[in-house]
Amino acid sequence: MNIAIKRVYDAPARLDGARILVDRLWPRGISKDSAALTEWLKDLAPSNELRKWFHARPTLWLTFRRRYLLELREPEANAALERLYKIASTRKKVTLLFGSRNLERNNATVLKELLEGKRKPPSSSGPLRGIAAGRASARGRR
């Protein structure tokens, strides 16, 4: 499976394959036709609160990523993530589209890692829950 990330403001290319917008907000100045989307999975985007939090604290990338992965366990986000996995499994190439100016630190890079198997997908009983529970209990012991 070939996964790419690209700003939604960049021109569509034939080699993009399935073009999936993973932002909650529609990008300014882009028409639906010019975006040439295969799908818009807005439930995959970070919550507005987390997006605004990270925008004000761009140096806290690891904290953003951890919080975002936890948000992906929510039912709507998890259903959208399953949809993304399904699309990716049936296409030779998938391009995740995002609006952020930061090309390396955005939600699409986290989703790309998930699709490529570099991170485990979030689940309510999976490793993320155990890690979060361990940290919470460690904080309580202090």
SS (H, E, C) 49-76: HHHHHHHHCCCCHHHHHHHHHHHCCCHH
Given this model, what pLDDT does residue 102 score? 87
Report the distance separating Cα 22 and Cα 138, nearest Å. Answer: 34
Model confidence pLDDT, tens digit, residues 43-89: 999 999 999 999 999 999 999 999 999 999 999 999 999 999 999 99
The H or E element spanning position 35 is helix 32-35
Q: Once rounded to an integer, what is the mean pLDDT over residues 24-49?
A: 94
Given this model, what pLDDT does residue 119 score? 64
Model confidence pLDDT, tens digit, residues 90-118: 999 999 999 999 889 999 999 999 999 86
Number of domains in the chain: 1
Give 94's strand partners. Answer: 3, 18
Residues near 34 by beta carbon (within 8 Å), at least 6 away in sequence:
12
Domain of residue 60: give its range. Answer: 2-141
pTM: 0.81
